Chains A and B, each alone.
Chain A
Amino acid sequence: MDFLNQIHELLSSQWPWWMGGISIGLTLFLLLYFGKEFGLSANLRTMCAADGAGDYSDFFNFDWQSQGWNLMVALGAMFGGYMAATYFSPGHHAHISQETVVALNEISADVPGSSLTYGNIPIVPAPTAENADLPKFWNLYSWDSLFTLRGLIIIVGGGFLIGFGSRYAGGCTSGHAISGIADLQLPSLIAVVSFFIGGLIMTYFFLPYILQIHI
């Protein structure tokens, strides 16, 4: 029992970045070993096809049932997120740097009482039982937020860009940044550089202003 407690404590502590190599490497290894690929955005195409999108475009006319394994990976990822969030994340903090906290507080400077404190940043911008004192400014991932213009842009707009962009580019962060670059594919490197160009454009030119919308 003591041993199990120690494991629980270890898993509940903050994970260093190099665990990424182990976790992503293990995921990639197992999927290749099973004769599959690592790429989660392909599920969006499968889900469209399963809903009958093949009637509208040949892009969705494929044997989507052969992709059921990938939907199971997504289902497992949901369950993994649930377990990690529910049992292994005391405090639910994102351990971001002090400079980033300053930058976030600059965005919310015009709204009194919205500043975040270094060392007490919730893992995602949403109120939870542990972060009940989260300033309203940072309530983005919730149903309340969805019914504001700001939340609509972030949740519906962001989802649309991810779904459209990942299929247009032929892959996402798992398909290109990991699988594609690990296979030394030049198109994947171009795609990942483009992900960053798009991300930087959004972060510097749009995101601060979108966050400041308060309707």
Chain B
Amino acid sequence: MKFFKYIMVGFLFGFGAYKMEMISFFRIYEMFLFQSFHMYGIIISGIIIGIIITQLFKRGFVKTNHGDVKKFNPKAHTWPRYIIGGIIFGMGWALTGVCSGMMFVLMGSGYTVFAIFIASAMLGTFVYGLTRQYLPH
């Protein structure tokens, strides 16, 4: 039962992601051609509302359900991983039109071949885990 609330959060996100066509290969292609505001509107409005929400938690105006002030982990200021890893991720995003959240939504929407996509993404993460000590971070 303690997991039920997380399933509900995921449900809201997945439902919205499908309805806003965030799972659409064609929408992602359109975004990278800069031919519509749609995807940018989703990302920018998500960020603006996200900044407000994050600040409310950070400054303690809103506390977690345990009554604590939410702690945020600052990310390390080392650049190669964000640039190289980001470019690799971006290439995958444009190639399939899918990012790591959308692969679950698509799998649920009935495109069962995404089981293979998810397995391949796990393999990618596994290979990163094996090779990370040799990669520039």
Contacts and interface: CB of A to CB of B under 8 A. Distances in A.
Interface in B80-111: 81-101, 103-111
A208 to B, nearest CB: 10
A97 B35 contact: yes
B37 A17 contact: yes
Contact of A78 (B35, B82, B93, B105): B105
Interface string A140-151: 111101100000
Contact of B129 (A21, A159, A167): A167
Interface string B1-19: 0010111111111111111
10 residue pairs, one from A and one from B, having the closest CB atoms: A76-B10, A198-B90, A194-B86, A80-B14, A163-B124, A161-B92, A21-B45, A78-B108, A20-B42, A165-B89
B59 interface: no
Contacts of A201: 87, 90-91
A24 interface: yes
A72 B27 CA distance: 27
Contacts of A23: 12-13, 15-17, 20, 46
Given A74-B10, A185-B75, A187-B82, A159 B96 contact: yes
Q: Is the interface of B mostly helix, strand, loop or mixed?
A: helix
Q: Which size class do B's interface residues fall under?
A: 35 or more
Interface of B: 3, 5-30, 32-33, 35-43, 45-51, 53-54, 57-58, 62, 64-66, 68, 70, 72, 74-79, 81-101, 103-114, 116-130, 132, 135
B56 to A, nearest CB: 9
Contacts of B29: 96, 100, 103-104, 203, 207
Interface in A184-215: 184-188, 190-203, 206-207, 210
